[in-house]
């Protein structure tokens, strides 16, 4: 079990839900947001240990969210995993510059998301439920 808090951001409610259930079933504390603006606010008030965000969202895109997070000292190093429906939506250089820990393309596997979260947070894989 982990006491880590993960923020999941996607405008597709089903996607948010499936990632949240997978992580909660594996001991994570999960909070959710449906766009970048909401997510930005939650990072200030709820201080997650990691953010998983979609790329294309209304109001504020995933990329804008990451750029905004990097501008603030308190979230400048916050680990981020991106989900994207377009394989090449974010170039490697940009990924590096924005310190995006991992990029997973949709359709994605909740198993891979969990594994990626564990790797990024430096946790050992939990025994299968």
Partner 1 sequence: MKGLAEQAGQMERRAADLALANQLLQKQKRGAEAILYSIRDAVIVVDSFERVVVANAAAEGIFSFRLDRTASRPVAEVINHPEFIGFVGQIRRNGQEHVKHEIVLRSGKDARSFDCILSCVKDDKGEVTGVAAVLHDITREKEISQAKNDFVSHVSHELKTPLASINAYAEMLVDGEAKDETSLEQFCSIIQSQAQRLNRLIEDILNISRIESGLVKVSKQPLSMAILIRDAVEMIRSYAQEKSISLHTPQAIIFDQVYADKDMMSQVIINLLSNAIKYTPQGGSVTIGCEVHDADGKIRVSVTDTGVGIPPEAMDRLFEKFYRVEANKNVAKGTGLGLNLVKQIVETVHGGRMFVASEAGKGSTFGFELPLAAGRPVEVA
The residues that bridge with 33 in the sheet, in sequence order, are: 9
Shortest separation between residue 113's beta carbon and partner 1, angstroms: 9
Q: Which of 44, 76, 85, 125 binds partner 1 (CB under 8 A)?
A: 85
Q: Does 15 bind partner 1 (CB under 8 A)?
A: yes
**Residue 59 falls in which region: left (phi positive, over 0), alpha (psi -120 to 50) or beta:** left
**Which segment (1-9, 16-24, 69-77, 116-124) binds partner 1 by CB under 8 A?**
16-24
CA–CA separation, 95 and 55 (whole Å): 12
Q: Does 82 bind partner 1 (CB under 8 A)?
A: no
Q: Does 27 bind partner 1 (CB under 8 A)?
A: no
Helices (H), the chain: 13-25, 36-45, 62-71, 92-97, 110-120
Q: In Å, how far from its chain's centre is CA 48? A: 10
Q: Which of 46, 72, 86, 94 binds partner 1 (CB under 8 A)?
A: 86
Question: Nearer Cβ to partner 1, position 30 or 78?
Answer: 30
Q: Which residues bind partner 1 (CB under 8 A)?
A: 11-12, 14-15, 18-19, 21-22, 25, 34, 56, 58-59, 85-86, 106-111, 129
């Amino acid at each position: 079990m982990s006491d880590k808090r993960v923020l999941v951001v996607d405008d597709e409610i089903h996607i948010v839900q499936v990632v949240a259930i997978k992580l909660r079933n594996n001991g994570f504390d999960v909070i959710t947001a449906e766009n970048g603006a909401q997510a930005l606010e939650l990072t200030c008030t709820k201080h997650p240990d990691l953010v998983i965000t979609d790329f294309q969202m209304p109001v504020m895109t995933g990329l804008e969210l990451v750029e905004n997070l990097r501008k603030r000292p308190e979230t400048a190093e916050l680990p981020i995993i991106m989900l994207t429906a377009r394989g090449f939506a974010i170039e490697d250089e940009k990924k590096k510059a924005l310190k995006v820990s991992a990029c997973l393309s949709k359709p994605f596997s909740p198993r891979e998301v969990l594994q990626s979260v564990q790797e990024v947070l430096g946790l050992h894989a939990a025994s299968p439920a």
